[in-house]
Amino acid sequence: MRYSKKYRSSAITVVTIFLCMFIFSTCINNDKTDTGSTTTSSNYKLYAGSASCQTCHKKIYETHINTAHFHTSEIASEKNIKGSFEPGMNTFTYSTGGTVKMEKRNDTLYQVGYLSSGIEKIRQHFDVITGSGTKGQTYLTWVGSNLFQLPVSYFTSASYWCNSPGLPNKVVFYRPITSRCLECHTTYAERTSADNIEPEQFNKEHMILGVDCEKCHGPAAKHVEFQTQNPTEIKAKFIINPASFTRQQSLDLCALCHGGRMKKIKPSFEFTSGDKLSDFFLTDTTTKDANNIDVHGNQYGLLAASKCFRNSKTMTCITCHNTHENEQGKAELFSQRCISCHSDSHAEAGICKMASSLGNEINKNCTNCHMPQLPSKAIAVLLQGKDSLTPATMHTHLIKNYPEETKKVLAFLAASPDLQKEKNITVKSKTK
């Protein structure tokens, strides 16, 4: 199988970071209707691939290739598949009967389905990884020009294989992948099938894996050609600069993949950075109470319901997220961005009322109190030997006070005298 080098080389993205793998489980069943042309127009030639960006944007390129967005899809290999292929660690057995084993045969990696009797029933090779591994990975296989989800995924928090999200408690090998799935997990994928053909067909040679530069800056072939021929031209030509966007344009770009369930009214991949999202999708307007929006998938909806967002005329996703860099786990960095608005010099935004109790610790982790990790109702996986689903957890983007989470933080500090001494603070516990 030959893949273009464009596959792995690009750089920038949509925002809010967190976990890429699981979008498939919510989008696959919501992509049944295309309108417009009978096939996706062949725009692959307009793309340059992000390797071409590093000549002029080397630093940005080198940081972006370490982000979750960049690794939200990539060619499957033994090196980047997180789960083990070692005997005893490579098996997922369903309580309803049947087993899937992850096996390496003659340098090819497979998921192999076995009957309860131990007889091999079916096998398909790993071809594409979706998900950076932050929360997990799920895997796709090519069958001709069709892409299908494999039955077993990897769940990072458990460090083990699991039933792929959204699948029943049995071996299912051929769950079709749609262009809407790929719209959020790739930079570009060319569909070759007519609208009424299911499962959809794709040109595997015209697919750019990962979410990178051209997802946010637009197809760059013409830009690269011009700037290469005119190296002294300072003003960038034939490229989109998201820094010039209006607030809504910036939000729409992120909401393409972080805006919850949407029904497309035009073919996938026709939306381009800077476009108006409502020209391409019908958004979900049924969920008006933010407390009923799941923590996964619709970060934009949760953010838009937050007081921080509603009281601001400029706040967007990139106010807090630098999409060029891997910022995962940097709680203090995000806290500093909170404090940039919630400080004495910006008193109208409000100063944290726990500042007197937390002292210098207030500078370390705003998110544990105001954007805690919560379980997803939409994304849950079946782990080995479990009868009930285990939810994925992720930071909510509904920014507000969570009293119970604050109690946990205060209790932790109260129980950590060494930490208190190090930070030279006295914690006034309010857990009682």
- Amino acid letter, residue 55: T
Q: Three-class SS of residue 91?
A: strand
Look up residue 16 and give its two tokens.
């809010």
Q: Three-class SS of residue 130?
A: strand
Given a cut of 70, the residues of the chain with pLDDT beneath it are 1-42, 284-288, 345-350, 356-357, 359, 416-432
Say how far apart CA 311 and CA 291 lie, in whole Å: 19
Sequence-distant (6+) residues with CB within 8 A of 56 are 227
> CA 149, 115, 163, 388 torsion: positive or negative?
positive
Summarised one tens digit per residue, pLDDT across range 195-231 is 778 899 999 999 999 999 999 999 999 999 999 999 9
Say how far apart CA 122 and CA 143 lie, in whole Å: 13
Summarised one tens digit per residue, pLDDT across range 29-68 is 444 444 333 344 458 999 999 999 999 999 999 999 999 9
Domain boundaries, the chain: 5-328+371-401
pLDDT for 418 equals 55
Helical (H) or strand (E) element with 338: helix 331-339
pLDDT for 361 equals 73
pLDDT for 387 equals 80
Over pLDDT 70: what percentage of the chain?
A: 83
Sequence-distant (6+) residues with CB within 8 A of 339 are 362, 363, 366
Look up residue 297 and give its two tokens.
């998938």
pLDDT for 420 equals 53
Query: What angle (nearest 5°) sits at the alpha carbon of residue 265, between those of residues 264 and 266?
Result: 95
